[in-house]
Structure 1
Amino acid sequence: MAKHFRRNFRRPTREEDKHRINERIRVPEVRLVGENVEQGVYSIDKAKAIAAEQGLDLIEIVPNSKPPVCRVLDYSKFKYEQKKKQKELKAKQQKTVIKEIRFGPNTDDHDFNFKLKHAENFLKEGSKVKAFVHFHGRQIVFKEKGYELLFKFLEELEEIGKAEAPPKLEGKRLTVILAPKSSKN
């Protein structure tokens, strides 16, 4: 006996589905806005006639208001402007980058200074720095050395970065996160 499975198949939403245009608008009256149009509340037939007269489309911009707001505009131009706005917004978003620097509890001065220089560069670039001391096996007995190391690290970088929180022990890792100081301060 064959089993039939029902599939929840939804048609993917296309760009055309996001805004209703021309004949898809099904309300008795709309608020009309746009260039070369006298703003106001019109019946849907009158609004469509005004759009057709100009050779443009009637696009529903704000469907939830009473009456819905429609605009007289070329639909392809409208879609292009929307994509352009989305791109600009995406470009303005800042992504926080966290760079990691790893120490051992017995890190000597040369290695410490080498990693300190890297941390300085990361903070100057605007990235956050996550510094941690990783304890292997029974090295956890020397956690005071780890705290000393991280406090020395924070002290050296206090001019260009500040700790978000004091060093915290999580399992076998002693961790601190530094954020770059803003240039306004």
Structure 2
Amino acid sequence: MSFAETAVSSRDRARLVREFSDLARYRDTFEAPDFAVLTTNRPSVHVIAHTAVHYLVGDGAADFVIDDSWAERRDGSLTADPEITTTRTALGTATRILLRHTSEPSRFLRRRSVKTSVRWVQPFSDESLSRTAVLTSVIAHESNVDLALPHVDRLALSLELRETS
């Protein structure tokens, strides 16, 4: 783990290899062409969030993702209503959907944890083709939400079109 500020113990190294292997399988399962992982680097390395990016062709992706969020609320997999806002970005108006998911029942009579996800839906035009980038970020531990949310939002807000060569 070359990006760690201090040497990583063999136990932590094994944990990180497991976590990154799980994330790689997750990325492959959902066929996300773009994927990012947010980690800490001190005092030890921990994964605090990951983001999968999908691209949809055509209009209506924002409505589809919003409807899907409300469907999750109706089926009981969310602890509260989705928090939906729009923001003006360099590519146009983006929709941000904050979701708080219930976890699976835990063993040993612990209280259920809450997993937070943020979906950014950013429509854009690419050479006369209407497309939408959907960034889905997952923050697995409630204690990391305040740390991760600004980074996740900054990633989504910094999207820009670049010319391909």
Asked whether the two chains share a fold, i.e. TM above 0.5, the reply is: no
Q: Which has the higher contact order (CA 8 A, sep 6+)?
A: 2
Structure holding more helix per residue: 1
TM-score (norm 1): 0.27
Structure holding more strand per residue: 2
TM-score (norm 2): 0.29
